[in-house]
Structure 1
Amino acid sequence: MALHHPDSHENPSPTRRRMTDAQYVASRRSLWCGVAALFTDGRGRVVLEDVDYRPACLLPGGAIDAYEAPSLAIAREVCEELGLTRRFTGVLAVDWIPPSTPGYPPGFPGEMIYVFDGGTLTEDDFAQIRLPDRKVTGIRRIEPALVPRYMNPGNARRVLAALRARINGTGPAILEDGCPLVPTALDDLQVLRTPRKPQLWPWRTSSVPVKLPVTQAWGWLFAEDGRALVLVGQDTGSACLPGGTLEPADHGDPAQTLHREAWEEARVRIGTPHFLGYLHDDTGRRPCARARYAAHITGWEPPRRDEATGQTYSRLLATPEQTAQLFDWGDEAAAQLAAVHAGREKLGLPAAARQPLTELVPGRLAEGSGAQ
């Protein structure tokens, strides 16, 4: 039975010769197909491989064998290269690599790459990694902003686009040479292009000890739909929670600091802040507390340049889990998120549904929320 293809018709014209199956198959242009796995560690660093056949690092992965499904190909490649047995069900990005890409052999026809979500590898997972005798010579954990130092440009763009797609949580990003066809707010701001500052201090939910000075106050500021406000510097792509350092005008009251900073940085008004806990920073000459609060957003105006920092921030709404992926909090992230959700519930706000990060704009809290 003949294949049904674009040149076959129920009633072919008598003047047009019908293409045979063999001719149709031969007419299709060749295209390489490959797979890659995006793994991160507990601090959000990307897992890359050193290989003996290229100077630049790669994600785990490789070519899809003949008649092999992409999900089976990536499971096979990860087992061969890392010695890990995994089942892959989620694709973060699908990228087309153009034929003109440097570094490929003559006649390279272009390639489609499926980037699968490998999730987070634990320290036990890393201990189980077994490298093969050839090809893969080592692994690295790389801060996302530093990925371009270790990979060729197209591969680095693909990795960062896939990371942003993971944070948005909306399914595969369609890429061409590592660039999204439909950029999200995270893509437009080039989030993760600047190295994150590690904040690996112990998290405490108790009251701050009297002898431990509170030097900073930061807020989880919630919209009506249960998403929190995260600020992204338009010049840097760096994320931060609203808040900052106590100043004399705050009279030693961290809650007052949060009110002031939320207005100065983000032009946001908030209700009464509820204390969530603090990070015990003992890395400086004198230990201090960096307090965290939860508060309800009660009003906002168009953003302006922050006179204290010279920075203009884009205001994005994200679930607490999405927000945490923008920072390097290490093992303390889970405990802080638990306190954040307890604070959200105390404010009487719902758990937010995962959706792409959206901007807080004048007149509404989120696209489709109906809040005015």
Structure 2
Amino acid sequence: MDLLPYAEYAASLNRKRASAGVLFHAPDGRVLLAETTYKKSWEIPGGAVDAGEPPWRTALREVHEEIGLSLPLGTLLVIDYVPTEEPMPEGLAFVFDGGTISDDEVAELELTDPEIRSVGLFTLDEARPLIDPVLAGRISAALHAIATGTLVYCESGHPISTTATADPS
């Protein structure tokens, strides 16, 4: 077997997009969602990881840009593999715990990012018609992670077992 020179091998490696979001939650289980101006579905605060930027810095940057908060980041709750869905290539989505937030704190948020029209706290059932089904699964997994203190791995918003074998056949 002939091996490629290292630089050629490195250039041939698959590239994946990445995103990072933060789940803020009220004590009663409602979650903070942001109504975006650039698409129909609502989102959790977060966005695309820039080149040379780790996901945790993306999460902190996006939360500050979108909803004006500069808070310490909580634990990683979810890693979600998202397959290619045109026009978007495959990627990884990271969800971090933003901690609890109250109705009063949400009302005081200063929205200065033109990408964000409004924000609100919603139960998962209230959120489902507003968000993409993959995000609904990811939020459900994140709420489970908060309740159990465990990291949840997902594929397209569906929790998976990490005890699966490498060869699914």
TM-score category (smaller protein): 0.7 to 0.9
In structure 2, which of residues 70, 86, 92 is the aligned counterpart of residue 85 of structure 1? 70
- With over 3 angstroms needed to count, the CA separation of the structure-2 counterparts of 1:124 and 1:147, relative to structure 1, is closer
Are 1:126 and 2:116 matched, yes or no? Answer: no
Alpha-carbon contact 1:95-1:178 (below 8 Å) kept? yes
Are 1:65 and 2:50 matched, yes or no? Answer: yes
Quote the residue 2:166 is aligned against. Answer: none
Quote the residue 1:328 is aligned against. Answer: none
Work out which of the two has the higher radius of gyration on C-alpha atoms and give 1 or 2.
Answer: 1
Matches of residues 125-274 of structure 1 in structure 2 within 5 Å? Answer: 125-170=105-150, 172-182=151-161
Percent of paired sites with the same residue: 33
Partner letter of residue 72 of structure 2?
R
**Counterparts of 2:113 and 2:73 in 1: how far apart (Å)?**
25
**Counterparts of 1:46 and 1:25 in 2: how far apart (Å)?**
40
Quote the residue 1:56 is aligned against. Answer: 41
Compute the displacement of 1:182 (Å): 2.5
Compute the displacement of 1:124 (Å): 4.9
Alpha-carbon contact 2:32-2:120 (below 8 Å) kept? yes
Are 1:34 and 2:19 matched, yes or no? Answer: yes
3-state SS, counterpart of residue 131 of structure 1: coil
- Gaps in structure 1 of 5+ consecutive residues: 1-15, 184-372
In structure 1, which of residues 91, 101, 116 is the aligned counterpart of residue 96 of structure 2? 116
- RMSD, aligned CA: 1.7
3-state SS, counterpart of residue 149 of structure 1: coil
**Counterparts of 1:162 and 1:44 in 2: how far apart (Å)?**
11
Compute the displacement of 1:147 (Å): 2.2
Compute the displacement of 1:166 (Å): 1.1
**Counterparts of 1:153 and 1:133 in 2: how far apart (Å)?**
25
TM-score norm. by structure 1 comes to: 0.42
Alpha-carbon contact 1:71-1:89 (below 8 Å) kept? no
How many residues align? The count is 162
TM-score norm. by structure 2 comes to: 0.88
Higher relative contact order (CA 8 A, sep 6+): 2
